[in-house]
Structure 1
């Protein structure tokens, strides 16, 4: 079977389609109201035109106004809509994320404005993923802290180096050839791991983990469970491994270290969501930019 080709959306196509703020506003208007056949106020045929010098559209018959930007991430923003769209384009085409400093340089805005734009755009990456099935890998990682601090945390059989003194814990599960779910958690003990597994992984799934003792309870929960012992340099045993999740963690950490340098634990989940969102759409035919523009209508 021939591989389906992904649709491309380049910077040239972006500039041709979104030539100014009005073109961007019209796209949001279409996304939000194109399903309407009649005016919601006068019930006449839907016929709205752009109001001059305002970010709204008015009915040709009764004058009722619709405001496409209301309750979106653009609401009450004085920043150019094209700048907003271009920032979203940068996020959609970057594998390693976009820092506020980079937005400041690209858009020619203040750092405060660029930081707010980046923060608002990351709201688009929050999503609810269906329960994972088939073969599912579970693993945890730790983000933050300095490398030198690793030598200060004595490894014991109980923690095996899983210290949270300088780091934030992220618990993840990925379905092979499917989606990933990753959550920032307070710790990685049973009281957190068990509810995470029950809420996100179907009971019929085959679960693969490393030797971390907390995962031993999965069989008692009714899951089919196999492990590899990383402590003994065992990384693959038949189809048992956590390589897909390890690859995701590696990409996440490289991007945070290289692009953002450091991330506040308070906002770490938004960055994790960003990379999980990209991962879950790695095989989509539709360009990520178009998917994000459609999601702009989420309420703030």
Structure 2
């Protein structure tokens, strides 16, 4: 299985995160570095010169192609500020107990539960690797049941519970 490591100084706390990504310019600069680590290159013609538009587009000076830093990402065509996306990603990846749509709606001040739910679905889809290898070596497996408390039988025989199985390669 491929090892995934963070190759940079990842914020260790929410305070560090906020200091680093509290404004849109910092977020866009971070995405620019990820997309073009060796400097801008137009995705259409490969030219390395651009001008930056007020709509946050990198426009090639050679072919006038509009390169978007968020194109092809879960943030593509979003009307919400990029800082909201970064904060949602931070909470999604660092909260031990996870985050649900109701929490995200309240934390970001969304007017719609549907928006928060859609964002979380997009984030969850990002955690699935296509063409992933089967688990091998030392694998730990566990199962548990989720569901509201109900009267009647408890534990494994309880009606209306959903079983969740989890496996991880160590």
Over aligned residue pairs, what C-alpha RMSD do you find?
3.0
| Equivalent position of 1:148 in the other structure | 151
Higher helix share: 1
Q: The residue matched to 2:163 in structure 1 has which SS?
A: strand
User: Larger radius of gyration, structure 1 or 2?
Assistant: 1
Aligned mates of 1:96, 1:30 — CA distance in 2:
31
TM-score by length of 1: 0.45
Aligned mates of 1:90, 1:74 — CA distance in 2:
16
Residue pairs, 1:58-97, within 5 angstroms: 58-97=59-98
1:227-283 residue CA offsets vs partner (Å, 9 max, x unmatched): xxxxxxxxxxxxxxxxxxxxxxxxxxxxxxxxxxxxxxxxxxxxxxxxxxxxxxxxx
2:160 to 166, 178, 203: 166
| Equivalent position of 1:23 in the other structure | 26
The 1:136–1:145 alpha-carbon spacing in structure 2 relative to 1, beyond 3 Å, is same
1:143-174 residue CA offsets vs partner (Å, 9 max, x unmatched): 225352425xxxxxxxxx75484122233334
Aligned mates of 2:166, 2:22 — CA distance in 1:
41
Residue pairs, 1:83-122, within 5 angstroms: 83-112=84-113, 113-122=115-124
The structural deviation recorded for 1:63 is 2.3
The structural deviation recorded for 1:69 is 1.7
The 1:19–1:61 alpha-carbon spacing in structure 2 relative to 1, beyond 3 Å, is farther
| Contact in 1 for aligned 2:52/2:59 (Cα 8 Å) | yes
Query: Within the alignment, does 1:12 sit opposite 2:15 as a pair?
Result: yes
| Equivalent position of 2:5 in the other structure | none
The structural deviation recorded for 1:96 is 0.7
| Equivalent position of 1:124 in the other structure | 126
The 1:21–1:169 alpha-carbon spacing in structure 2 relative to 1, beyond 3 Å, is same
The 1:146–1:51 alpha-carbon spacing in structure 2 relative to 1, beyond 3 Å, is same
Q: The residue matched to 2:151 in structure 1 has which SS?
A: helix
TM-score by length of 2: 0.72
Count of aligned pairs: 160
Aligned mates of 1:80, 1:71 — CA distance in 2:
17
The structural deviation recorded for 1:78 is 0.8
| Contact in 2 for aligned 1:48/1:59 (Cα 8 Å) | yes
Aligned mates of 1:116, 1:31 — CA distance in 2:
24
Query: Within the alignment, does 1:32 sit opposite 2:26 as a pair?
Result: no
